[in-house]
Structure 1
């Protein structure tokens, strides 16, 4: 699981930097001028959550290396789904496609719930951690 999470962390981190750069430099070409301030603010919020939770995923990966467990795997999965749903939904649906209504917009709050539940899964993992290192790959 460690290698998978580290690979995922690297990919999500690189994607986060790329999207942040694109939103700073390329976003005006995709968004009408009157909507640009809101789009930039949404991009900043999505980018912040994207990168912060990518770092959280890195922490989960490192913890999994020492003491793998179900709750850590769940936290990693939830952080990944949350980044894709919350940040990805804002990037793709709200900013690029301009979708602000309909069933697709629920991807964003669902992603937010995944991020929150990822943190809660970390709490459970911490309480269940015996403190003794386990074997890893």
Structure 2
């Protein structure tokens, strides 16, 4: 695999994005557990934890995709899957974080769009694997 190989680019940016997203998920989880416990309702803590969990799941998915070129699986579909997962993290988890922290309820309709982004990413991964 050369530096110009698309698989190398997927490895680098998916690994970095996954690591950053994972770090931020751990930080958000700690903030939620310690900083928000006496500030928001039990339901608010549950919603915040859901955002953290989905962010971490998809951070790990990005890291997993970064390993796929070693298995002979790379290409534009994987890149698109990663992009959809990143968009999902921003829209789904981001809207839930903001909802809990600010109480702005018009963000609610954004959350399902992020969920759809997560699902599209997984479908793209399935298609990429089947094409191989």
TM-score of the superposed pair, with normalisation by structure 1: 0.82
Q: Using the alignment, how far apart are the partners of 1:82 and 1:37 within structure 2?
A: 24
The reply on whether 1:46 has 2:62 as its aligned counterpart is no
What is residue 5 of structure 2 aligned with on the other side?
A: none
Q: Using the alignment, how far apart are the partners of 1:112 and 1:60 within structure 2?
A: 19
Q: Any gaps of 5 or more consecutive residues in structure 1?
A: 130-137
What is residue 16 of structure 2 aligned with on the other side?
A: 7
Deviation at 1:22, TM superposition (A): 0.1
Cα 1:85–1:124, aligned 2, differ >3 Å: closer, same or farther? same
Q: Is the CA contact (8 Å cut-off) linking 1:30 and 1:96 kept in structure 2?
A: no
Q: Using the alignment, how far apart are the partners of 2:69 and 2:52 within structure 1?
A: 25
Deviation at 1:29, TM superposition (A): 5.7
* Superposition map of 1:13-24 within 5 A: 13-24=22-33
Q: Using the alignment, how far apart are the partners of 2:120 and 2:47 within structure 1?
A: 22
Q: Is the CA contact (8 Å cut-off) linking 1:89 and 1:108 kept in structure 2?
A: yes
Q: Is the CA contact (8 Å cut-off) linking 1:50 and 1:87 kept in structure 2?
A: yes
Deviation at 1:105, TM superposition (A): 3.0
Deviation at 1:30, TM superposition (A): 4.5
* Superposition map of 1:74-93 within 5 A: 74-92=80-98
Cα 1:64–1:110, aligned 2, differ >3 Å: closer, same or farther? farther
Secondary structure of the 2:74 match is coil
Deviation string 1:27-78 (CA, Å, 9 cap, x unpaired) is 14653xxxx1111110111111111111111111211454320110111111
Deviation at 1:97, TM superposition (A): 1.1
What is residue 110 of structure 1 aligned with on the other side?
A: 113
What is residue 120 of structure 1 aligned with on the other side?
A: 123
